[in-house]
Amino acid sequence: MKPILWITCKLPEEIVEPLKSWADVREWPTVEVNMPHEKLEEIIQEADILWTIMDNRVSRELLQTAKNLKLICNLAVGYNNIDVEAAKELGIVVTNTPGVLTETTADLAFTLMLITARRIIEAADEVRNGDWTYWGVNHLAGRDVHGATLGIVGMGRIGEALAQRAKGFNMEVLYHNRRRKPQAEEAYGFSYRELDALLQESDYVVVLTPMTPETKGLIGKRELQLMKNTSILINVARGGIVQEDALYDALKNGEIWAAGTDVFVQEPVPTSHPLLTLKNFVALPHIGSATLSTRKEMMEMNIESMHDYLEGNPIRHRVV
């Protein structure tokens, strides 16, 4: 019998069709709405392989109901939506898609810096809404990116790619990381700072650190108050690293100049969220890896892991 492969979202037909030669493929049928948790609770009981996305919360309690599950392939680099310790205890392999979205996410981080600094969303809305009625000396004036100081919190592969882009804008690049990277400092010309110093010196602070118990709530009221009142905070890492209530207060009170984020604690973010009422806040719907080529490569990496598992080979892209 073919193993049952449950796909929790609607994927392109050219990706799914070849899988049917070796798997009993069952797939959530629509792109308009992702699989609700109640359906996930149902299908995990019959799946041999589960192909998940970040919206799927795979808890210990859920894994304990899985009778046949042997492999979870998460269509993401992050995997904090899955209780990997529980999976390990239960003998369930978890894989992800590391490395593939480095350049794409760095592009998005730099884009978010530019659109936030130059007030692009406000300006575009003004045109669309018919509110562009005059030219003013400081009307919609933003802040320069070129020549400014960029502080990167979390200097992994995406951080290094962002630093390379910043050099093209003649930016001074500072970074804070759990471990210093002397070779990268020499190669790319950026400088290490303790977190407080980085926050105080930077015109732009970009959060790229993974979500861990140590980084949860890393940027809160105290940290935001260390930043310049002309500075901009960008988060393309994970919701919860920046404390959203503290960020709202800092933006509303002028403690920092603006902020942009691609991630929230609750996703999709409710339209009633206080941050969405602020003109100096730019929100994106978690699109860090959202280019056609990158998403295709991510899917192919998950399929590689499935083939490895089925053929009894060492499983590539394995988390646990």
Band of residue 297 on the pLDDT scale cut at 50, 70, 90: very high
Least confident of 13-17, 77-81, 118-122, 235-239: 77-81
267 counts as catalytic: yes
Q: Is the pLDDT of residue 32 over 90?
A: no
Average pLDDT over residues 257-271: 96
pLDDT at residue number 240: 96
Average pLDDT for 191-205:
98
Q: Is the pLDDT of residue 208 over 90?
A: yes
What's the pLDDT tens digit per position in 144-167? 999 999 999 999 999 999 999 999
What is the pLDDT, as a whole number, of residue 54?
93
In order, the DSSP letters of the chain are: -PPEEEESS---HHHHGGGGGTSEEEE---SSSPPPHHHHHHHTTT-SEEEE-TT--B-HHHHTT-SS--EEEESSS--TTB-HHHHHHTT-EEE---STTHHHHHHHHHHHHHHHHTTHHHHHHHHHTT------TTTT-----TT-EEEEES-SHHHHHHHHHHHTTT-EEEEE-SS--HHHHHHH--EE--HHHHHHH-SEEEE-----TTTTT-B-HHHHHHS-TT-EEEE-S-TTSB-HHHHHHHHHTTSSSEEEES--SSSSPPTT-GGGG-TTEEE--S-TT-SHHHHHHHHHHHHHHHHHHHHTPPPTTB--
Q: Is the pLDDT of residue 9 over 90?
A: yes
To the query of whether residue 244 is one of the catalytic residues in this protein, the response is: no
Q: Which of 165, 176, 238, 295 is the catalytic position?
A: 238
Task: Name the active-site residue from 176, 286, 295, 317.
Answer: 286
pLDDT at residue number 299:
98
Q: What is the pLDDT of residues 116-149, one digit of tens each?
A: 999 999 999 999 999 999 999 999 999 999 999 9
What's the average model confidence in pLDDT over 177-197?
94
Q: Is the pLDDT of residue 220 over 90?
A: yes
Closest CA to 191 of 215, 207, 167: 167
% of the chain at pLDDT higher than 90: 97
Residues 243, 254: Cα–Cα separation, whole Å: 17
Residue 236 pLDDT exceeds 90: yes
pLDDT average, residue stretch 87-114: 97
Catalytic residue among 42, 267, 300, 307: 267
0.85 cut: is pTM over it? yes
- Please state the rounded mean pLDDT for residues 104-112: 98
Q: Give residue 150's pLDDT.
A: 98
Please determine, for residue 293, whether its predicted confidence score (pLDDT) is greater than 90. Answer: yes
Tell me, what's the pLDDT at 187?
87
